[in-house]
Every structure is written in C-alpha cells, then in structure tokens.
Amino acid sequence: MIRVNENYLKLKASYLFSDIAKRVSEFEKKNPDKEIIRLGIGDVTLPLPPACIVAFHKAVDDMASEKTFRGYGPEQGYDFLREKIAEFDYRSRGTTISADEIFVSDGAKCDTGNIQELFADEIVIAVPDPVYPVYVDTNVMAGRTGENRDDRYQGLVYLDSTESNGFVPDLPGEKVDLIYLCFPNNPTGAIATKEDLAKWVRYARDNRALILYDAAYESFIRDDSIPRTIYEIDGADEVALEFRSFSKTAGFTGTRCAFTVVPKKCRVYTEKGEEVPLHQLWLRRQTTKFNGVSYPVQRAAEAVYSDEGRKQVRELGDYYLENAANIRNGMSTIGFSCSGGVNSPYIWINGGRDSWAFFDMLLEKACVVCTPGSGFGKCGQGYVRISAFNSHENVERALDRIAKAIK
C-alpha cells in the first residue's frame, strides 16, 4: 500500500496565493465585463531591464554555435555570476562573503523551502507572525510541527510582529534553534535596523542557533543606514544564511534566478555537539538534487551588475517605490492606518475588519485585488497587504476606485 506523507494533510487546503487566484478567477467568470487591477501577489509588471535583454539574447546565440554552446553548468552557478554578486552585493558593503559561498538557484522560494531538509526533525523553529507562508508550510510538510489549531501549528514558536513592536519581532522567551527573518519584510514592509539585526545575531551566537535571513526585497532600500545584508553585522557569517532574488530586483519573476549565501564559517551540530560546516551540506544537496540555472538566464542576471544594468535596476525599483508612496498616502488619506511602503514595495493596511471581508469588499466594489493579512498568520488578521507592483496608472485608478468604494 502506498502511504501518504500525512504531514501534508495538516496543511491548509491550498497555498495562500492559489486561494486568492481561485477567488479572483471565480469573480472574473461571474463579472466578465469588469476590469480587475491586481495589487495582490508581489509579481512585477515592468519588463526586464534592457541590459539583461541584450545579455539574454547574446547568450541564446551562444547556444546556437558549437564553439560557444554550454551543456550542464556548475550546480552552484557560473563563476561569472557568483563573482559579480560577491563584488557588488557583498564586498561593496564591507563584508567578506566570497564567490564560492554563493549558490545560484531558480528562486528564493525554492531555497527557503529546500534548506530545511538539512536540519534535524526535532529542532525548535521560530517564525515571525505574520510570515511568508513558505517558511511555515515547508516545515509542516517535513513533519516538524503538530496540527494547526486556532490558526497556529503546534510546536512552532511564533514571534508576534504587531504595531506595538513596529512589526519587528522581539527575541523569543524560550530557546529556539532556527529563526526565520525577512527584511524588508514580506508582508508588513517593516525594516530592520543594524541594532535589530545585531540583537538576533547575538541571540543566535549565544544559543548555537541559525538565522535564515530572507533579503529578497533589499533592492528597495534607499536609506543608507539600513543594512542591505545581514553580513553587515559582525559575526553574522557564523550564524546566518541569506536568501536573495533577482525577481523583484530586476523583474525576474518569470525568468527565475536567485541565490543563497552559505558562509563557510556557518555550522550546524550533531546530537553530540560536533560541528558540521553547513556549506558542505548545501553543496552536497544542490549537486545531488539540482542542475543549475540555465546559462542564458545567468548571463541575463550577470548584466544586472553592469554599469547600465545597475542604473536600470535602480530605476525599476524607484518606479515601484513611487507606487508604494502613493498607495501609502492614498490609503492614509482615506483614513486607514498604514505601515511599510518606504524602502519596501509592500504596504500593510489596518482594514479595521476581518481580512478576507476587506479583500472581498475591495474585489467586489473596486475590482482591486489585495492580499488578506490573515493569510500570513494570526497577527495578520484585520490587515491587508497592498503590493506596489503595477503601473503608475493602475495604482492611481485602484486608489480612486477604493476611495469611492469606501465612501
């Protein structure tokens, strides 16, 4: 008899964004004449930067000739891309991350989901609430939690991120082994200062814990006092992995390219307390289960770091940040309390009612899609997330429609 992994049966029926897509498609079927504006899932709308397109085309041409054709590439990514990442994302910020500590992949979602297979089943895991659902669901799938009761999985330590702590969670009251952090935060748009991160790094060092730091939205940071990478904090390279993505930075949501930093100094421990370098485990995992990102895509990602690429990527970010500022101002003017949207493409709005009720109201009365905060956890109840990824025109129209719907 083929038995099911019963951990899957503990999961909510569907992934948050699939749930939303289903509701929106039902609404569309019933209202074929209504035009919907999507400010829900954080999917970019502007095309790839021209520098990336040129490099992409050229790399496709390379594949057309026997002399320049590439077959299997290194599972960890081509050196040409890893070197650029190390130089521009890490050395330029005064950190010592080197190219061979960078693992190129097809997405931060996959990496944050896959990395947990390197850890023991019994570890204690802390997740912020609200949280990007992938961190939680992948641990549920792996059997590291009990059942979901009252919107929380038994066995996980939830770190409340609320208005009272500025949506930056406090250290846990109990000892935890693995900590997920994401800044600029998805979904709240909150930012962590150097002091905030230093506190977590100190905790991890004192408790032989590990931080999984999701920095997928770092390219929206404009304030230079805010850390762009956790490795700006002394000692972080011993206790933190960092996940980055070209998706939001350079419009790669459909193209797929990301990377994970696994510093060589980072270690995990056997039951007896012996140290094991995490780098060698992740290398082993990736070389076994992953065959790398395609050559043309890595060439396109490399172009992000060229002079024109860096300028174009900055402009892309500025475009969405202008939307974020307008959404924040627009929703505040209508009377909602908002946070995020500065150094971040997400605006977190206190809707003053059930999150899904607010979602349904916006969909039905304004034909605008947002993301219900409760889908990110119990502390998200009452909130919705509006994403800045759309055109200026659509954001303006959406705000207009919302203002009318609220009246």
Shorter beta-carbon distance to ligand MLT: residue 82 or 109 = 109
For the CA atoms of 22, 23, 24, 28, the dihedral, rounded to the nearest 10 degrees, stands at 100
* Minimal distance, residue 244 CB to ligand MLT, in Å: 12
**Contact between residue 74 and residue 290 where contact means Cβ atoms under 8 Å apart:** no
Query: Considering beta carbons, is residue 23 or 265 the nearer one to ligand MLT?
Result: 23
Nearer to ligand MLT, 42 or 373 (CB): 42
Residues 210 and 265: their CA atoms lie apart, in Å, by 12
Cα–Cα dist 348/117, whole Å: 32
Q: Toward ligand MLT, which CB reaches closer, 109 or 267?
A: 109
Residue (95 or 185) nearer to ligand MLT, CB: 185
Name residue 278's amino acid: L
Q: What one-character-per-residue DSSP string does 281-315 give?
A: HHHHHHHHH-----HHHHHHHHGGGSHHHHHHHHH
State which residue, 331 or 386, has the beta carbon closest to ligand MLT.
386
Q: Are 369 and 404 in contact (CB under 8 A)?
A: no
Shortest Cβ contact with ligand MLT: which residue?
Answer: 42
Select 47 or 50, whichever has its Cβ closest to ligand MLT. Answer: 47
Contact code string over 168-187 relative to ligand MLT, x by CB under 6 A: ------------------x-
> What is the rounded CA–CA span in Å between residue 265 and residue 242?
13
Nearer to ligand MLT by C-beta: 109 or 299? 109
Taking the complex as a whole, the smallest distance from the CB of residue 215 to ligand MLT amounts, in Å, to 13
Task: Choose, by CB under 6 A, the member of 20, 24, 39, 42 that binds ligand MLT.
Answer: 42
In b/e form, how buried is each residue of 322-334, taking b as 16+ CB within 10 angstroms? ebbebbbebbeeb
Shortest reach from residue 195's CB to ligand MLT, in Å:
26
Cα-flanking dihedrals φ and ψ of residue 349, to 5°? -120, 130
Among 82, 84, 109, 279, binds ligand MLT (CB under 6 A): 109
Place of tokens 């969670």: 169
| Measured distance CA(281)–CA(275) in Å, rounded | 12
- The stretch among 7-15, 40-48, 147-155, 257-265 that binds ligand MLT (CB under 6 A) is 40-48
How does DSSP assign 146-168, residue by residue? Answer: --EETTEETTPEEEE--GGGTT-
Minimum CB distance to ligand MLT smaller for 249 or for 381 = 249
Q: How many residues bind ligand MLT (CB under 6 A)?
A: 5
Which of 364, 388, 383, 361 minimizes the C-alpha distance to 372? 383
Select the span of 38-46, 70-78, 86-94, 288-296 touching ligand MLT (CB under 6 A). Answer: 38-46
Q: Which is nearer to ligand MLT, 186 or 306 (CB)?
A: 186
Closest Cα partner for 240 from 146, 373, 115? 115
Choose one: 36-44, 282-290, 316-324, 397-405; the region binding ligand MLT (CB under 6 A): 36-44
Report in angstroms how near the CB of residue 316 gets to ligand MLT at its nearest. Answer: 16
- Whether the CA torsion 278, 281, 285, 291 is positive or negative: it is positive
Q: CA-CA distance, 55 to 110, in Å (whole number)?
A: 25
Encoded tokens for 27: 């609404």
Quote the least distance from Cβ 356 to ligand MLT, whole Å.
17
Work out whether 41 is an interface residue with ligand MLT (CB under 6 A).
yes
Q: Does 11 bind ligand MLT (CB under 6 A)?
A: no
Look up residue 172 and give its two tokens: 């846990």
- Residue span 77-96 as binding mask against ligand MLT, x where in contact by CB under 6 A, dash where not: --------------------
Only one of the segments 41-49, 169-177, 231-239, 310-318 lies at the binding site for ligand MLT (rule: CB under 6 A); that segment is 41-49
Phi, psi for 25 (deg, rounded to 5)? -70, -35
Of the candidate spans 39-47, 69-77, 175-183, 256-264, the one that interacts with ligand MLT by CB under 6 A turns out to be: 39-47
Q: Which amino acid, 311?
A: K
Least Cβ distance, residue 372 to ligand MLT (angstroms): 12
Q: Give kind and range of the element (H or E) at residue 387.
A: strand 383-387
Positions in the binding site for ligand MLT (CB under 6 A): 41-43, 109, 186
